[in-house]
Structure 1
Amino acid sequence: MTYTPDRPPLRFVPPPGWPTPTPEWVARNQGWQPPAGWTPPLRRPVYAAPPEWQFWAPEPAHWTPFRATFTSGITSALTWGSIILAIGVLFGVTAIASGDHSFFGMTALFFVFGGIRLATGLSARATVERRVREAIRTAAPVVRHDVDSWAYRAYLDATAGERAQTGRPPMHFDEFGFARDAAGWGAGAESAILAPMRWTAPVVTPKPPMIRTSLRIALLVMIGLILLVALPGLVQSALGG
């Protein structure tokens, strides 16, 4: 799961005295935690961030839809778990009321699978914030590389004439990335060239959450076990009739 550069799910929270970096810098460095004592490359000195400073906070307009891809399966798991447990309760009440012990096996199956679905949903809900943050940190280097690759080609085209006249070699790709970082704070000799550059947002195809896949598997297994338990009784009743 990733995000598009024009819709970063986190916003940068600058410490006291720091300027706000450009949207390009924010999109390329989502979730990056500056080391202790680090300061941005500015023309004027600034103090380092206070200890335990939280550099990133959700960007409401983009955070909510990004987070929703992780919570949709949770709602489904909790709903189906509750439904399956409710069916198990009905089977249990029927077994007690009728005295037919064959219903107890069905009751146990529904309770087991309903409990599994509920436990899965509750566990996923308890860890959703951590998983969202991890997904952002994992996706950020990929987005950064895609954005810088596009911008690097534009940089080569924009400086081709000047480099042909002066014989100056182009920056290496990594050097170009560092220069873009500096330009994000308004510093760097190449900021006049780098700052106006934009990107084309990559096409993102979200993968279906694993929780949905596990739900389908669990339901298929449950149906199979129900048939395994109920079918012999039905066949026996039919033959006896």
Structure 2
Amino acid sequence: VMRRAAPGLAPGTAWAQSTTAGVDAVADLAAFAHEHGLVFFDAPVLGTRQPAEAGRLLVLAAGPGEARERVTPVFDAVGSRTVWTGEDGAAGSATRLKLVANSWVLAATNAAGETLSLAKALGVDPDGFFDAIAGGPLDMGYLRAKAGLIRDGALTPAQFAVTTAEKDARLIVEAGEANGVRLDLAAAGAERFARAAARGHGDEDMAAAYFASFEEKATD
């Protein structure tokens, strides 16, 4: 899109890229912006479909301070808060933070699915598990939310699709490898998302990675 649009943009136009990309990809996008005289902002967001529709995303942004007032109204419209991570969008500091945050989100999502799949296999009522952790440090709203989607079969429309989660998981693994870090959970998570997608759950919420635990399509 930007390859078609950039020639028609005035020099000095601000461009905020908000996709989750790899660190190297951000540098390439920044170089493209520089070639066309654009002011580049690295601005990925944290949040899923519902907060996006409500304008409650968390914007992670990096870019020159003198131009921030031009993008702030846009960030305020889509997000409840903006966290500035640096002055140079090309350095990818916002994308780096997004990858770190996503590594936790995807790991927690897969953990929720595996916990429910093990409970199913062992004949344990999930309510017993939630009662056991209620009110303690292991009790997380996110765990209950993703588990609720699985238990209720409310996986569509997706808050964040399985195929997108797989893509992000692989970006996380690649970032770790490029910096000498082995991320076994992220790599295993990417494979779980891939298996779920191969079984027809690619467009469902990423909680549908739950189905990757079973040889056949599971039902509750």
TM-score of the superposition, structure 1-length normalised?
0.23
TM-score of the superposition, structure 2-length normalised?
0.24
More relative contact order, 1 or 2 (CA 8 Å, 6+ apart)? 1
In proportion to residue count, which structure has more strand? Answer: 2
Over alpha carbons, which structure has the higher Rg? 1
